[in-house]
Amino acid sequence: MWWPIGPYGTMMAVILLSTIPLRNLLTRDEPDKRLALSELPAEIRAKGYHWHISLYVVMYLYKFLIDQHNEPIKARVGGYTHWVHGLEGEFTLWAQEAFRNDLLTDLLNFHYLFVYLFIIWFSPMYFILVRDHVMADKAALNYLVIYLLAVPLYLFFNIEVTSSYIPGMDALLYHDNWFIEFATNNDPMDNGVPSLHFGLPVGLLILNRLHVRDLGISIKEWRHREFDLFIQLNLVIYFFSIQYLGIHWILDIIPGVLLAAICAMFVHAWQPRIRARPVNGWKSMIPEKRSLVAATVFALLCTTALASLAVDGVGTEEGNPNMRIGTGDVNIDVIEVHSLWDPVGVEVVNVGETPVYVIIIDRSHVVPYTDRGHVDWDSIVTGSALNPDFQGVVLGIGESWAAEVETPSIYDTHLILCRVAGIAEGVGELHITMDYVDDELIWSAILLSIPAFFITGLVIEQAMRRSENEVGEQATDEEA
C-alpha cells in the first residue's frame, strides 16, 4: 500500500479528525459538559495545561534519547529471548496460523499503531474536552511514568519479537512494504518486555478505578464509564493482535501489567501534589524524609545490581542465539545510523546446526519486496547482486562473519537478511552483534534507569506505610 504521508502521518491525521466525533459520541448524554474548541485556549490557561503540552515534547525527546542508547549498548548487555522461549515455547505461532487472514492482518496492523498513538493523545485530550482536569492530569502522567518505568527493561533486558525467534512465525507488521520503513525507524524489535501496548491502557484502567474509589462511587456510576469500556475493548484486541502479528510473547504482558500498577499508584498519589505546586511551591513535590530515604536506598541498590549483573552478564554469552530461522523464513535485523563518520561493525555467528545465508543490504532495496509478512528473498538478492552496498555469505555450522557498514547519511539504514541456506532443512540459529562507535553509552543508560527505581521505591514505601497504618488502626479498634 502506498500513501504519500506514510503510516505515522496517516495515523495522526485520522487521530486528529476522530478526536471530536469520538468525544461527542462518548458524551452524547451530557452535551453540557463538552468544551468548545473556541474555549480551549482559555481552558489551557485557566487549568494550567501548559505542562501537559510540555510533557509530550519532553517525552518525544526522551524517547529519542533512549532509542539512541538501545542498539549501541546491546553488545554489552546481550539478550534473554532464549529464557522467554524456554518458558513459553511457541504458543503464539498457533494464534497466527489458526487465524491467518489478509483482511485481519491489515485491520490489526492499523489497529496496533493507530490505537496506541490514539490512546496516548486522546486520553488527556478527552478529559480536557469534557472539563475533567484531574483525570487529564492523570492520563498525561500515565504516559510519562510508565515509559520511565520501562526504561531499565528496554535497555538491559532485550527480548526479541516472536517473529525473529519462532521458526515459521511471520512478521506481519514489520515485513510489509507500507510499514517497514516506519517500523525499522522506530522499533528496535528487541523491546518485547514490557509490552506497553498492553501496559499503558491497563494503567489507565487502574487509574480510573482508583479515582472512582476516592469519589465514593462504582465504576458503573462514573460519567466516563463509556470511555473506560472503550479502553477495555481495545485492550482485548491488543491481547490477541500483539501475538498474532508476530510481535510480543504472552510473558511480555506480565511486566506490562506490573508496571501499570506501579505507575497508577504513583500517579494517583502524586497528581494532587503536582496540581498544588503553583500554590504551595516546589516543596509540595519533595517526598517526606522517610519516603525520600527509602526510595533513594532502593534506587541505589537496584542500580548497583543492574550494573553488576546486566552489564557484560549472562545475556552476552555468544552461544545463545538472538535470531532463529525456520526453513523458508526470511528474518530481518536493523543496522541503525548512529554516526556519519564511523562504520558499524557487524559480527554474525552461526550457533546452530544448519547453514544460514546472511546478506546486508540497503533498506530501500528491500521495501518493494515485502508484503503481509512475506519477504521475496530471490528478487532482493537478484536485484541487489551488483549493488556496491551488497554483502553476503553462507555461514556453515560454527562459522562467523565480520563486516563493516558505512552510514554517511541519516537515510543509510541497512538491513541484515537471513534465511536457511540452499535446500537445507532445519532451524537456523544466529548470534548477531553490532558494534557502534558510541557503545560507552552504557553508563548514561544506567543513569537513565535510576528514575524507574526511584519511582518504584516511592510506591513500595507508600504501600508499606499504608499497610502499617491499617495494622495500627486495627490494633486501636481492638483496644477500644
Nearest to 389 by CA among 356, 360, 420, 350: 360
Burial 146-156 (b: 16+ CB within 10 A, else e): bbbbbbbbbbb
Query: Cα 78 vs. chain centroid, distance in angstroms?
Result: 18
323-438 folds as Jelly Rolls (2.60.120)
C-alpha cell, 34: 463538552
- With left for phi above 0 and alpha for psi between -120 and 50, is residue 328 left, alpha or beta? left
Sorted by where each begins, the domain ranges of the chain are 6-70+101-157+193-284, 287-306+439-480, 323-438
Any idea what DSSP says for residue 217? S
Rounded Cα distance between 203 and 141, Å, is 10
User: Can you give the pTM of this predicted structure?
Assistant: 0.93
- 78 in the Ramachandran plot: left (φ > 0), alpha (ψ -120 to 50) or beta? left
3-state secondary structure of 255: helix
Sequence length of the chain is: 480
Rama region for 246: left / alpha / beta (φ>0; ψ in -120 to 50; rest)? left
All three cell numbers of 119: 490512546
CA dist 186 and 413 (Å) reads 12
SS3 238: helix
Strand pairing of 414-420 and 331-335? Answer: antiparallel
* Segments in 166-224 forming alpha helices (H): 180-186, 196-215
Place of cell 532464549: 82
Kindly give the confidence (pLDDT) of every residue in the chain, 480 residues in length, as a single tens digit, with 9 standing for 90 and above: 455 567 888 888 989 999 999 999 999 999 999 999 999 999 999 999 988 989 989 998 999 999 999 999 999 999 999 999 999 999 999 999 999 999 999 999 999 989 999 999 999 999 999 999 999 999 999 999 999 999 999 999 999 999 999 999 999 999 998 889 888 888 888 889 999 999 999 999 999 999 999 999 999 999 999 999 999 999 999 999 999 999 999 999 999 999 999 999 999 999 999 888 777 767 777 889 999 999 999 999 999 999 999 999 999 998 999 999 999 999 999 999 988 899 999 999 999 999 999 999 999 899 999 999 999 999 998 876 656 678 899 999 999 999 999 998 988 899 999 999 988 789 999 999 999 987 679 999 999 999 999 999 999 999 988 776 655 555 555 555
User: Cα dihedral angle (378, 382, 384, 385), rounded to 10 degrees?
Assistant: 120
Q: Is 339 helix (H, G, I), strand (E, B) or coil?
A: coil
> 3-class secondary structure for 408-448?
CCCCCCEEEEEEECCCCCCCEEEEEEEECCCHHHHHHHHHH
Q: Residue with C-alpha cell 538478492?
A: 381
Distance of CA 57 to the CA centre of its chain: 18
Whether residue 356 contacts residue 394, with contact meaning beta carbons closer than 8 Å, is answered with: yes
Vertex 107 angle, CA 105 and 113, to 5° = 100
Judge residue 334's burial from the number of C-beta atoms within 10 Å of its C-beta, 0-12 exposed, 13-18 middle, 19 or more buried: buried
Q: What is the C-alpha separation between 225 and 82, in angstroms, rounded?
A: 41
Please give the Cα distance from 33 to 85 (Å, whole number): 50
